[in-house]
Amino acid sequence: MLPALSWQEDHPSPVPPSVRPATPPAGGLPAAVAAALWRGDQLGAPVSAAWPSGFAALDAQLPGGGWPGHGLTEVLTPHSGTLEWRLLGPALRQVCAAGQTVVVIGPPLPPHLPGLRFEGLDERQLVWVQADTAAERLWSAEQLIKAQAGGAIVAWLPRARAEQIRRLQVLATGFESPVFVCRPMHALGESSAAPLRVQVCVGVDWALQLRIAKRRGPPLDATLHLPSVPGGLAAILPPRLRQPSRWLPRTEENEHVVVRPAAQPERRHSPAH
């Protein structure tokens, strides 16, 4: 007969150090959870590295200090095909310089290679997907995001619906590189799952006027003025034409002048005979 086991309940064995419960930090949350927590009054932290936009004023207002990965960035413009290259060109230049591929899907105009060279984009690092219909552009964007193709993806989806943008956003969360979706300005009135939405239009002195319509952080009411001389003109413009507004006539100095109609000569009536 086997002897009964002796239980030492009065003197329990200590817990090995490897399985001791971790002491929570002062805030009450584990460090990993606290790092992933985003508060509405603060700029969100990127899931991965951010890509500098090339504009210091814009990087200061973007979560993480640049264009984020693991999500969509919507670029809203009044006229598709021109301002997107000027806004995204500095970031895409860095992607090409790193030896990675930039994939563009369904641009409204064929990429102009001489102009892209002026922007510092190497055509050998550029892949152009010619997709003519909305269904082709959407399908191409989905497949390329799933395949994690390239160092950046730029897709023109002017007629994408809210549920389609939501599907792309879900797919983009698993893609480390930035994904830009270019849409018309009126799409701002539609709901979007993209965590970052920016509006851009032309300003004075070759600048871009940009507003951040949505970001992970407090709203930004100010308009950012980003200097952006087109690459083809930057090398030939004299300094005086880099700020052409300085040479325009200032009409506000003449606002005190009151313009009156010219006095009409007084008519004299001859006496009746």
State residue 248's pLDDT score. 63
Q: Among 11-20, 104-113, 161-170, 213-222, which range has the highest average pLDDT? A: 161-170
What's the pLDDT tens digit per position in 68-93?
999 999 999 998 888 999 999 999 99
What's the pLDDT tens digit per position in 25-51?
445 666 545 445 555 555 555 556 799
pLDDT band at 2; cut points 50, 70, 90: very low
State residue 140's pLDDT score. 97
pLDDT band at 152; cut points 50, 70, 90: very high
State residue 5's pLDDT score. 43
State residue 189's pLDDT score. 93
- Stretch (H or E) spanning 102: strand 102-105
**CA 59 → CA 56, 67, 68, 72, 249, distances in Å?**
5, 8, 11, 17, 34
- Sheet of 196-202, strand order: 126-129, 102-105, 152-156, 179-184, 72-77, 196-202, 208-214, 224-226
249 has a pLDDT exceeding 90: no
Give the residues across from 181 on adjacent strands: 74, 155
185 has a pLDDT exceeding 90: yes
State residue 23's pLDDT score. 45
State residue 112's pLDDT score. 84
What's the pLDDT tens digit per position in 93-122?
999 999 999 999 999 999 888 888 888 888
Nearest Cα neighbor of 184 from 76, 107, 72, 84 is 76
Q: Which residues contact 25 (CB under 8 A, 6 or more apart)?
A: 31, 34
154 has a pLDDT exceeding 60: yes
State residue 199's pLDDT score. 97
Over 166-211, what HEC string results?
A: HHHHHHHCCCCCCEEEEEEHHHHHCCCCCCEEEEEEECCCCCEEEE
Give the C-alpha separation, 173 to 167, whole Å: 10
20 has a pLDDT exceeding 50: no
pLDDT band at 11; cut points 50, 70, 90: very low
State residue 232's pLDDT score. 62
Q: Which residues contact 247 (CB under 8 A, 6 or more apart)?
A: 240
Is 183 exposed, middle or buried, given 0-12, 13-18 or 19+ CB atoms closer than 10 A?
buried
DSSP alpha helix (H) spans, the chain: 31-36, 56-59, 83-97, 113-118, 134-147, 162-172, 231-234
Please check whether residue 61 is in contact with residue 220, taking contact to mean a CB–CB distance below 8 angstroms. Answer: yes
State residue 273's pLDDT score. 45
State residue 116's pLDDT score. 85
Higher confidence at residue 244 or residue 102? 102
